[in-house]
Amino acid sequence: MKRVAIVAVVTAALGGLFLFGLLRGSPDRDIPSNLIGRPFEAFELPLHARYAPEFGPTLAVAPGEAGVPMVINFWASWCGPCYQEAPFLEDAARRYEGEVAFVGIQTQDRGALAAGRAFVDQFDLSFPNAIDDDSRTSIAFGLFGVPETFFVHADGTVAYKHAGPVDGALLDARIAELRR
């Protein structure tokens, strides 16, 4: 009987903590980053094959080089929220074409080239998507996980880091701030 009471108390306590976590609301998705206010580290990564005719086999990105604001999105083929946000990213990339540069980076997904290619094809992503197979670029950006999106001023300084999936409203709001 004593064991049953202990199990019941422990179960109730864990259930209470679980309920508290569910009811406390969503966390702030604008995660502080050491990069905010500073230029990101230049990177060069191989591109998914569908982008080679337009961009070549690799994509080299340096702060301020594009001359327009940038949205850099990190994703993985196994990431459910990445599938939620992909249509919003594609829509924004098409609407802001020529005004904002979009870059996708498949990371934390070692050796999953076929799955990454299927992801890119599923959403017909028009903006270049690179492969960070060794996760060095995601480490340089200080990623916690995927998806994460960085909003970068035209001069190459990072303005915001958003953890979790983005949607159209968030993209539009952050891009408007970048363009001021």
Sequential pLDDT tens for the chain (180 residues): 877 667 666 676 665 554 444 444 444 455 678 899 999 999 999 999 999 999 999 999 999 999 999 999 999 999 999 999 999 999 999 999 999 999 999 999 988 989 999 999 999 999 999 999 999 999 999 999 999 999 999 999 999 999 999 999 999 999 999 988
Decide if 12 is inside a domain: no
Cα 35 vs. chain centroid, distance in angstroms? 15
Decide if 128 is inside a domain: yes
Decide if 7 is inside a domain: no
Decide if 174 is inside a domain: yes
Task: Tell me how many domains the chain contains.
Answer: 1
Q: What is the model's pLDDT at position 53?
A: 96
Integer Cα distance of 25 and 16 in angstroms? 15
Compute the residue count for the chain. 180
Q: What is the model's pLDDT at position 39?
A: 96
CA angle 13, 15, 20 (to 5 degrees): 95
Decide if 63 is inside a domain: yes
Q: What is the model's pLDDT at position 1?
A: 80
Q: What is the model's pLDDT at position 33?
A: 83
Decide if 15 is inside a domain: no
Q: Which residues of 13-50 are buried (b: 16+ CB within 10 A; e: fewer)?
A: eeeeeeeeeeeeeeeeeebebebeeeebeebebbbbee
Integer Cα distance of 96 and 174 in angstroms? 13
Which of 96, 63, 79 minimizes the C-alpha distance to 179? 96
pTM across the whole model: 0.83
The residue range of the domain holding 88 is 28-178
Decide if 98 is inside a domain: yes
Decide if 43 is inside a domain: yes
Beta strand spans in the chain (E): 43-46, 58-61, 70-75, 101-107, 129-132, 148-152, 158-163
Specify the CATH number for the domain of residue 138. Answer: 3.40.30.10
Backbone angles phi, psi at 51, to 5 degrees: -95, -10
According to DSSP, residue 147 is labeled S
